[in-house]
Structure 1
Amino acid sequence: MNKNLYLLRHAKASEKLTDQQDFDRTLDSQGLQNATRMGINLLNKKVQIDIIITSPAVRALSTASLVAEQIKYDTNRIHQNQELYEASTRSLLQVVNQLKDEWNTVLLVGHNPAHTYLAEYLTKSEIGNITTCGLAHIVFKNLGWNEISEGTGQLKSYEYPDLLNF
């Protein structure tokens, strides 16, 4: 059975206010719209997500929740993982390697540069920069999550809101 990993960078966030922590930044109006559109895009493609795992940062959790609502995924089932906030490629890979094998399609919502680095590491593709609300879809053929490593995946698609036709 193939494994499908969707790496979604959080949608556009508001600028950090003077006394505000980076962790607490919220989505701006464009970010709210784009996260909703990306969810509609997944719904239109009939993508069935087994689990959504997100950074607990406000902007990432909000993005995950908006996408979940569009694809009819129970927002109470969104798993927050602190390791996705300020993650390194290595720590993201550890999260992927520890996924349950009964999950065939996983959506990880987090931050750059780690999401871009992980996508490029797993696929040996050059993405350059996953934009805000950009979504990389990586397919792993006949591998368990614990077997995924450098170059084992194929970049099936990379999309972002400006590419969507609705």
Structure 2
Amino acid sequence: MSVETIRRIVLLRHAKADWGQETDHERPLAERGRKDAPVAGRRLAQTGIAFDLALCSTAARTRETWKLAVHELPERPRTVYEERIYEASLGELIALLNELPEDVNDVLLVGHNPGMHALADALAGEAEGDALARMNRSGYPTSAFAVLTFTGGWKSVEHGVARLVEFWSPHA
């Protein structure tokens, strides 16, 4: 792979979760979340990105979001359920991206706030149109996703390296 390889990082926040008697890690999706997750999947399919890899938090709400969204994609990417995404700090999320193999060009992370918002904001050194303003104004709601592009290897992922090319939310 050339260091000039254009790569894409898509950061999908899980769909709306329910508040029940479960531990936070085991919270399932709420009815609205079960409706929004496939909508997010259809919108992900419309981006035309053929993901090489999906990294999904091990929390119940992220696994359920991914299960509903992935059925809307034309091809199912290799999926890894990664426990380090749950409650990850910004630094931990960047470290996870730095570990990706160089044969991965397009990755999808299915995770949580504040991590997804913090990561998108930190990586976005520049943005197209009003994408950054919309993302920051919205607070990165459930089922929202950001698409970032950058050139280079995964070990070069750091603050300001990427361009935010799209921010989408189902209720925007």
Q: Do they fold alike, i.e. is TM over 0.5?
A: yes
Residue of structure 2 in register with 1:139 after alignment? 149
TM-score norm. by structure 1 comes to 0.90
Q: 1:51 deviation in Å?
A: 0.7
TM-score norm. by structure 2 comes to 0.87
Paired amino acid for 2:140 = I
For the aligned residue pairs, the C-alpha RMSD in angstroms reads: 1.5
Percent of pairs with identical residues: 30
Deviations 1:91-150 (A, max 9, x none): 000011111111111000000001111111111455332110110101002x11111111
Q: Equivalents in 1 of 2:43, 2:94: separation in Å? A: 26
Alignment of 1:124-135 (within 5 A): 124=125, 125=132, 127-128=135-136, 129-135=139-145
Residue of structure 1 in register with 2:56 after alignment? 54
Which shows bigger deviation, 116-125 or 80-89? 116-125
Paired amino acid for 1:45 = T
Match of 2:12 among 8, 11, 19: 8
1:161 aligns with 2:170: yes
Q: Equivalents in 2 of 1:45, 1:84: separation in Å? A: 24
- The alignment partner of 1:86 has SS state of coil
- The alignment partner of 2:171 has SS state of helix
Q: Equivalents in 1 of 2:150, 2:69: separation in Å? A: 23
Paired amino acid for 2:146 = A
Deviations 1:7-41 (A, max 9, x none): 000000111x23x1011111111111111011111
Residue of structure 2 in register with 1:88 after alignment? 89
Bigger strand fraction:
2
Q: Equivalents in 1 of 2:169, 2:160: separation in Å? A: 23
Number of residue pairs matched by the alignment: 159
Residue of structure 1 in register with 2:129 after alignment? none
- Segments of structure 2 that go 5 or more residues without pairing to the other structure are 126-131
**Which 4+ stretches in 1 moved above 4 angstroms?**
none
